[in-house]
């Protein structure tokens, strides 16, 4: 399946300009996600959905990937509308992975296992969560928490949707993974520092 990396947010909480371009250990944040997608067995094309507030991200993607990663210019300011626009503009068919640019600890094994689970479940959509204790263990403060059958879970920013019915509400399988790599989402300067530390000790 193809993947679309959402990269048109304001990055206001981080306050370091365009968040996808902010470097960790000499590499732009979004490149961690792109490179891991490109190393996954189950991912074909990778698209990046930029917006008018992320023009440098567009230039960086062109320079770094020489057209092998396509940029889609969304309007900005409305995540869902931009996601639908990006899916329709990409001309992708069948299931598509929608992923945030600020998950630098994701790896090809996680991506492939999410896709395998999606195929197994057979629902049109799948969203990935981590239990709240995994977030706390990783030192991150969750923004959104859901109660699923009495269990507190946090959305990770990894979703699969059926592109052929992208404007419709889709029946969604909630995949809960106990992986701290999914719990680290770079929103603040503190998150960025924690990511640097984790990447260094994981390498």
Ligand X SMILES: Nc1nc2c(ncn2[C@@H]2O[C@H](COP(=O)(O)OP(=O)(O)O)[C@@H](O)[C@H]2O)c(=O)[nH]1
Give the interface with Mg ion as residue ranges (CB under 5 A): 102, 185, 187
Shortest distance (Å) from residue 168 CB to ligand X: 20
Choose, by CB under 6 A, the member of 13, 45, 190, 196 that binds ligand X.
13
Structural element, H or E, at residue 113? helix 108-121
98 versus 153: smaller Cβ distance to ligand X? 98
Let me know: does 185 contact 156? Beta carbons within 8 Å: yes
Contact window for ligand X (CB under 6 A) among 60-68, 78-86, 132-140, 174-182? 78-86
What does the DSSP 8-state code read for residue 203? Answer: -
How far apart (Å, rounded) are the C-alpha atoms in residues 149 and 106? 27
Contact window for ligand X (CB under 6 A) among 3-11, 131-139, 146-154, 173-181? 3-11
Is residue 140 near ligand X by the rule CB under 6 A? no
How far apart (Å, rounded) are the C-alpha atoms in residues 162 and 121? 13
* Tokens coding 168: 């419709």
Mention every residue, 6+ apart, whose C-beta is less than 8 A from residue 90.
Answer: 2, 4, 45, 47, 70, 72, 96, 163
Contact window for ligand X (CB under 6 A) among 94-102, 105-113, 118-126, 166-174? 94-102
Q: How far is CA 3 from the centre of its chain?
A: 9
* Tokens coding 136: 């706390």
How far apart (Å, rounded) are the C-alpha atoms in residues 73 and 191? 27
Size of the site for ligand X (CB under 6 A): 21
Q: How far is CA 189 from the centre of its chain?
A: 19
Report 143-202 residues binding ligand X (CB under 6 A).
157, 187
Contact window for ligand X (CB under 6 A) among 34-42, 74-82, 104-112, 195-203? 74-82
Report 46-65 residues binding ligand X (CB under 6 A).
49, 51
Choose, by CB under 6 A, the member of 96, 102, 181, 195 that binds ligand X.
102
How far apart (Å, rounded) are the C-alpha atoms in residues 125 and 121? 9
75 versus 91: smaller Cβ distance to ligand X? 75
Is residue 24 near ligand X by the rule CB under 6 A? no
* Interface residues toward ligand X, by CB under 6 A: 6-11, 13, 19, 49, 51, 74, 76-79, 82, 100-102, 157, 187
């Amino acid at each position: 399946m193809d993947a679309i990396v959402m990269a048109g947010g304001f990055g206001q909480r981080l306050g370091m300009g365009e968040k996808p371009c902010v470097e960790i250990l000499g590499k732009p944040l979004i490149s961690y996600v792109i490179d891991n997608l490109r190393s996954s067995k189950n991912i074909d094309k990778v698209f990046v959905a930029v917006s008018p507030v992320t023009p440098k991200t567009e230039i960086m993607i062109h320079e770094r990937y020489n057209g092998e990663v396509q940029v889609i210019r969304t309007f900005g300011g409305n995540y869902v509308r931009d996601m639908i626009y990006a899916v329709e503009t990409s001309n992708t068919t069948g299931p598509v992975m929608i992923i945030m640019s600020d998950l630098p600890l994701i790896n090809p094994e996680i991506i492939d296992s999410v896709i395998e689970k999606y195929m197994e479940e057979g629902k049109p959509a799948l969203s990935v969560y981590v239990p709240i204790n995994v977030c706390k263990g990783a030192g991150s403060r969750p923004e959104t928490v859901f109660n699923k059958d009495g269990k507190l879970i946090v959305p990770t920013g990894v979703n699969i949707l059926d592109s052929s019915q992208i404007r419709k509400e889709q029946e969604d399988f909630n995949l809960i993974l106990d992986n701290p790599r999914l719990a680290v989402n770079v929103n603040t300067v503190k998150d960025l520092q924690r990511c640097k530390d984790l990447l260094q000790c994981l390498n």
